[in-house]
Amino acid sequence: MNLENLRPPVGLMIVMLALSAHAPYHARAQSPRFHLEEATIADVHRAIRANQLTATQLVQLYFKRIEAYNGTCVKGDLDPATGLMLGDLTPIENAGQLNAYTTLNIRGKRSKTDASDNDPKMPDALEVARAQDAHFARTGRFVGPLHGIPFAIKDNYDTVDMRTTAGAAAAYANDKPLQDATMIAKLRAAGAIFLGKTNLDEYAPASIARSALGGQTCNPYDTKRVPGGSSAGTGAAVAANLAICGLGTDTSGSVRFPSTANALVGLVATQGLVSRAGIIPLSYSRDRGGPMCRTVQDTALVLEAVTGTDTRDHVTAVAHGKKPVAYRNFANKKSLAGKRIGVVREFMIEATIADRDSIRLAHQAIADLKRLGATIVDPVNFDGAIAEIMSSYEPSFFTRTFKEAIPAGADPIDRMVTLTMDPKSLPTGMRGVNLRVIAGQRRGEEGKYGMNVYLQQRGDAKFRSVDDMFATKTFAGDLPVLQNAFGAKAKTLDTPDHASHMLRMQNLQRILYKVMADNNLDALVYPYSTIPPHMVLANRTPEVYNPRTEPRLLKAGTPMSDANLVPGEPVLKTDLDLWRGAGSSWSVNLSPVSGFPAIVVPAGFTREVYDRVPDPKDPNGSRLEGPKPDQIPVSMEFLARPFDEATLFEIASAYEAGTKHRRAPKGFGPLRGEP
């Protein structure tokens, strides 16, 4: 992509230099020189006020970086019929490219169905920036709190001016929706400038960071690895300074996993605080949109701009009457004095040696929280709350999932009383009754329902339902995963599994409320994941290795052939796919299923990693390969009560300030001439 024509005219540059030269001395003396790498929202606004920078210049600088770093990061053949990379891939070490963006917000490059792209009511990124510069020159005021801030937007947010297909090479009659997603509209009103749409796992159900439209996205810290998913492109773009902030969506970790894998701050707010209207859905009960930035303060500023009730999304009714919160005022803390934080140890299980290095960093993070003044409750025990609440509200949890909890001949009600009174009688161990199991619910039927509702609302003449979705022949992801996620064969929502899922969400909320109240906790803490992001997969439909869940690696019920299991740990079985979710995370579903808000913050980098590979001695098995020296980001996740995002920002900002773990990836540094 040639962006030479995006440079400002020489005359404009002279004017800008003159403005800078005639700026008040005190403004120039007190304003530090602007640097693009790792720039924050405050840095940009300070530079604009000091006449060091304009919104137009900033957008041009980011487009230059995108031109330099958004190339292909894998080797693979293009399908001659479609021109898409649908076959096997080979990752490139130190590729120097990321393939994060699929569409750029430049006229003529924004749509495949609107080649003319000449609607003056749909300005592109540079046109928006020029209008903002004119407004600032005329009034001396910003258009909003995000004036001039370049964003990367995941390609499942409806944008009226850019193609929106969730990464699919789908045959829409009009690939540009007729209405912005609510979060998009709010960001526009706040002054955000959208650089483009970013790649994702096709339709967002997995974490291989690959789509038919966009191809493979790579991790800027190790281009042989994925950058997390499904918000892969946003994570890679923000980490490599191809935008200041971005938007992701999270159903089972898709904001928090790529934020973790890219040393970013990622937030999912209380379910209902932010509208999901206009987001291509995966699960109407769990989907949430969220900001991904390099700092806690920037994340807070973005959240401020997008909260509020919305008649297009019924879940936001729970926020009715709640006053807007200036979250930025809570995102500047240095101390954790007075905070009580509970450690969830069951999300820190050293099941294999691959977990060990990340857990080392988690231990250090807990020590840092204590050093910063927090009172640490370690560990937090959930057994009593689980026994009491599940026995009374969902006894089928025991009769279906843990039949051994009710011995043959036992009176079921008496047994529920016993479990309530004596939580120690619960089944224990890796496969016992625990928080991982409670939060491990899956969805299926609702995927079909939600997608069909979205497509009906979008009103495209050619693409109307899940049937049209699966009629598309060009999928880059694992087709069975997509079919399962969107209930391709589902006939009804009235199923025991769906009813159980909806009930489980309420019961997990009850459990968390009780445990946090009993222990007087402000938040819970745990590592988002204890396994680094996996290698880019050679095959789009792996036979042996399903990256979404580790260690679901064998046929159901077959013992795992892994000599690297920690001694004394029970062998896991692959039919229990609820143990680890997206990004091999034990904790992935705690926030989505409960709807409680959560934030991930960088906690350091690994020293060495292990990778799971097929076992040549066992066609149905796998083994761990390593150790390999590799510095991969690790994050801690904090979870608070609903509508207590302010507390999350207090804790996250103090931890960030006291540890300063964020650092830019080495292979994507400043370009020549970049400020």
Second CATH level (architecture) for the domain 56-317: Alpha-Beta Complex (3.90)
Rg of the chain's alpha carbons, rounded to an integer? 25
Alpha helices, H only, 407-465 = 412-421, 435-438, 445-458
Pairing between β-strand 340-343 and β-strand 523-527 as defined by DSSP bridges: parallel
246: which residues sit within 8 A by CB, 6+ positions away? 151, 152, 153, 154, 198, 231, 234, 235, 237, 238, 291, 292, 293
- Residues known to be catalytic: 154, 230, 254
- Domain ranges, ordered by start, for the chain: 56-317
What tens digit of pLDDT does each residue of 517-562 get?
Answer: 999 999 999 999 998 998 997 764 433 333 333 333 333 333 444 4
20: which residues sit within 8 A by CB, 6+ positions away? 28, 50, 51, 52
What tens digit of pLDDT does each residue of 93-115 get?
Answer: 999 999 999 999 999 999 999 98
Whole-number pLDDT of residue 441: 61
What is the Cα–Cα distance from 176 to 595, expressed in whole angstroms?
A: 30
Helix H or strand E encompassing 508: helix 496-518
| Residue 642 tokens, joined | 């609903």
Side-chain half-sphere CA neighbours of 120 within 13 A: 1
> Is the distance from CB of 203 to CB of 168 less than 8 angstroms?
yes
Low-confidence ranges of the chain (pLDDT < 70): 1-30, 429-431, 441-444, 477-478, 539-584, 614-615, 618-622
Whole-number pLDDT of residue 496: 83
Coil, helix or strand at residue 38? coil
| Residue 14 tokens, joined | 């002279």
| CA dihedral sign of residues 260, 62, 301, 29 | positive
What is the Cα–Cα distance from 511 to 490, expressed in whole angstroms?
A: 31
Coil, helix or strand at residue 352? strand
DSSP 374: P
Whole-number pLDDT of residue 400: 78
> Is the distance from CB of 182 to CB of 159 less than 8 angstroms?
no
Exposure letters 632-671 (e unless 16+ CB within 10 A, then b): bbbbbbbbbbbbbbbbbbbbbbbbbbbbebbebbebbeee
> Is the distance from CB of 579 to CB of 560 less than 8 angstroms?
no
Whole-number pLDDT of residue 583: 54
